[in-house]
Structure 1
Amino acid sequence: MKKISDHISYKEATHSAYAKQKGIANKPLASSIKNMERLAEKVFEPLREWVGGPIKVNSMFRSPELNQAIKGAYFSQHLQGRAMDITSMGGKTNLEMFHYIKDELDFDQLIWEFGVEPKWLHVSYKSKKDNRKQVLITQRKGKYYTWADCKNC
Structure 2
Amino acid sequence: MIEVDNQFTVNVDITAIPGGYAWTYSPGAIPLPEGVSVTPAGVVTVPTQSGSWKITYSLSSAQFQLFSVLINTNPAQATGMCDFDQLLEVDAIPGPLPDVTEDVLPSPSTSTATICFANNSKTAKPVGISFQLLARTVVGSHFITSPDPQVKNTGEV
Give the TM-score band, short-chain normalised: under 0.3
User: Which structure's relative contact order is higher, taking Cα pairs within 8 Å and 6+ residues apart?
Assistant: 2
- Highest CA radius of gyration, 1 or 2? 2
Q: Which has the higher helix share?
A: 1
TM-score by length of 2: 0.27
Q: Which has the higher strand share?
A: 2
TM-score by length of 1: 0.27
